[in-house]
C-alpha cells in the first residue's frame, strides 16, 4: 500500500530536484514555514504556484494541501516581523494555522535541468538547443540561465508573437514585440522572468529573437540599436507559470518511484499584478490626442480583449 511521505521526505526530494546551494547568493530559497523535523508531519497533497500571495495561501487551504511550493520567495529581502496585520505575515499565519508548509525554489529552479526556461520553451513549442548562460560547474553543459532554442519551422515575427500570446497564460499585458513583423524567425533565446540583464549573451548567441519578461525602455532600446534582434516581452508571471506544471510532474515522478501516496496540483490562479490593458489606436499622428470615437472604441476593445480566469 502506498504510504503518505513525511514532510521531511518531500522537502528532501525538492532539495534534490532544486539544490539550495545552486541559488544565487542574494536569493531566499528553501523552507519558509513548516517543521520538517516533526515525524507526524505528513504530506498527501502539494500545491505549486508562482507567487506566495494570500489568494494562493487560501487556495492551498481550500484544496487541503499540506505543502505549498512557490517559485517566488515570500521574504526575498528579509523582514523584522511576521505579524498577521502585515500582508506577508498574514500569509505565514494562514499557512501555519492550517498546517501547511511553504517551500521556495527560485534561482535554483531557473538554472536547473530542466529549469524554468525549459518549461517556457516547451510551452512555446520550441526545441531547446543549449543554455543561454551555461553553469560553469555543470560538466554536462545542460544547466544554466535561459535557453537557446529553434522553432519547429521558420515563422514571420508577427506570427511567432501571435503563437507566443496564444501559448502562454492569459494576462492583461499579453506579448508585445519590437522588430519587423515580416522578418523571419528561426532561432530564439528565452528566459523566464526578468531577462534584460542578458542582452550581451543573447547577442553572442546570434539568435533572431529573444523572449523574456520585464524589458525596460533603455536596455530594450539599446538592444535594438545594437542589432536587428527582435524582442518579445511577455508578463513575468506568464513566463514562469509553465514551470509549475513541469515541477509538479517532476515531483509526481519521485512519488511514483518512492511509492508515495501523494498528489500534486498546480494553481491556476493568475497572480500577475496587472489587470487591464488599453491598446493605443492609430491616429493621424502618434502624439495626437484620441478622438472621442476612438476612445470609445479603445474601451470596447479592452473590455472584449481581456479574458479573465486561469492560465491557458
DSSP for 29-97? -EEEES-TT-TT-B-SEEEEES---HHHHHHHHHTT-SEEEESS-S-TT--S---TTSHHHHHHHHHHH
The pLDDT score that the predictor gives to residue 292 is: 54
Q: pLDDT-based confidence at 302, cuts 50/70/90?
A: very low
Asked whether the predicted pLDDT for residue 299 surpasses 80, the reply is no
Q: Which CATH superfamily is domain 111-234 in?
A: NIF3 (NGG1p interacting factor 3)-like (3.40.1390.30)
pLDDT at 49: 98
Percent of all residues in the chain with a pLDDT value above 70, rounded to a whole number: 90
Rounded to the nearest 10 degrees, what angle do helices 87-97 and 54-62 cross at? 10
Give the pLDDT confidence score for residue 65 in this predicted structure: 98
Euclidean distance between CA atoms 255 and 154, whole angstroms = 39
Domain boundaries, the chain: 7-109+241-266, 111-234
User: Tell me: the pLDDT tens digits for 40-66?
Assistant: 999 999 999 999 999 999 999 999 999
> Is it the case that residue 312 has pLDDT exceeding 50?
no
Closest CA to 235 of 306, 305, 168: 168
**What whole-number distance in Å separates Cα of residue 158 and Cα of residue 253?**
38
Q: Are strands 144-156 and 127-134 parallel, antiparallel or unpaired?
A: antiparallel
Q: What is the mean pLDDT of the chain?
A: 92
Cα separation of 27 and 114, whole Å?
Answer: 19
**Banded model confidence at residue 279, pLDDT cuts 50, 70, 90:** confident
- pLDDT for 228 equals 95
| The pLDDT value given to residue 304 | 36
Mean pLDDT across 141-157: 98
Residue whose entry in the numeric block shows the C-alpha cell 523572449: 211
Q: Is the pLDDT confidence value at 307 over 70?
A: no
Q: Residues for the chain: how many in total?
A: 312
Nearest 5°: the CA angle 138, 236, 192 is 20
Instruction: Say what the pLDDT of residue 300 is.
Output: 41
**Chain centre distance of CA 211:** 13
Helices assigned H by DSSP within the chain: 7-17, 54-62, 87-97, 107-110, 116-123, 157-167, 199-205, 217-226, 236-258, 292-305
3-state SS assignment for residue 10? helix
Give yes or no on whether 7-109+241-266 and 111-234 have one common fold: yes
pLDDT of residue 37: 96
- CA–CA distance, 49 with 13 (Å, rounded to integer): 18
Instruction: Tell whether the model's pLDDT for residue 287 goes beyond 90.
Output: no
Least confident residue range of 10-24, 91-105, 121-135, 270-284: 270-284
Q: CATH homologous superfamily of domain 7-109+241-266?
A: NIF3 (NGG1p interacting factor 3)-like (3.40.1390.30)
Torsion of CA 84, 87, 90, 92, to 10 degrees: -120
Average pLDDT over residues 212-218: 98
Q: Please report where in the chains the cell 515541477 appears, as a residue.
A: 247
Confidence grade of residue 184 (pLDDT, cut at 50, 70, 90): very high
Amino acid at each position: 500500500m502506498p504510504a503518505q511521505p513525511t514532510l521531511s521526505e518531500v522537502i528532501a526530494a525538492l532539495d534534490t530536484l532544486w539544490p539550495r546551494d545552486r541559488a544565487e547568493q542574494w536569493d531566499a530559497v528553501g523552507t519558509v514555514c513548516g517543521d520538517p523535523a516533526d515525524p507526524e508531519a505528513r504530506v498527501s497533497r502539494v500545491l505549486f504556484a508562482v507567487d506566495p500571495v494570500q489568494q494562493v495561501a487560501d487556495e492551498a487551504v481550500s484544496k487541503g494541501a499540506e505543502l505549498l511550493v512557490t517559485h517566488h520567495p515570500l521574504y526575498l529581502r528579509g523582514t523584522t516581523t511576521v505579524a498577521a496585520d502585515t500582508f506577508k505575515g498574514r500569509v505565514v499565519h494562514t499557512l501555519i494555522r492550517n498546517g501547511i508548509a511553504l517551500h521556495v525554489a527560485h534561482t535554483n529552479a531557473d538554472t536547473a535541468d530542466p529549469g524554468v526556461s525549459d518549461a517556457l520553451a516547451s510551452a512555446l513549442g520550441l526545441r531547446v538547443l543549449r543554455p543561454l548562460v551555461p553553469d560553469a560547474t555543470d560538466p554536462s553543459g545542460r544547466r544554466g540561465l535561459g535557453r537557446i532554442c529553434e522553432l519547429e519551422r521558420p515563422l514571420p515575427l508577427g506570427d511567432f508573437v501571435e503563437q507566443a500570446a496564444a501559448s502562454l497564460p492569459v494576462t492583461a499585458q499579453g506579448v508585445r514585440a519590437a522588430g519587423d513583423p515580416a522578418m523571419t524567425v528561426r532561432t530564439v533565446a528565452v528566459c523566464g522572468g526578468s531577462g534584460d540583464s542578458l542582452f550581451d549573451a543573447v547577442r553572442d548567441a546570434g539568435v533572431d529573437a529573444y523572449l523574456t519578461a520585464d524589458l525596460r525602455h533603455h536596455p530594450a532600446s539599446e538592444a535594438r540599436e545594437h542589432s536587428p534582434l527582435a524582442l518579445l516581452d511577455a508578463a513575468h508571471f506568464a513566463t514562469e507559470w509553465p514551470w509549475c506544471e513541469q515541477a509538479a510532474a517532476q515531483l509526481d515522478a519521485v512519488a511514483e518511484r518512492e511509492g508515495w501516496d501523494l498528489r500534486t496540483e498546480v494553481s491556476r490562479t493568475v497572480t500577475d499584478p496587472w489587470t487591464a490593458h488599453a491598446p493605443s489606436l492609430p491616429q493621424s499622428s502618434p502624439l495626437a490626442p484620441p478622438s472621442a470615437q476612438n476612445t470609445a472604441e479603445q474601451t470596447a476593445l479592452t473590455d472584449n480583449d481581456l479574458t479573465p480566469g486561469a492560465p491557458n
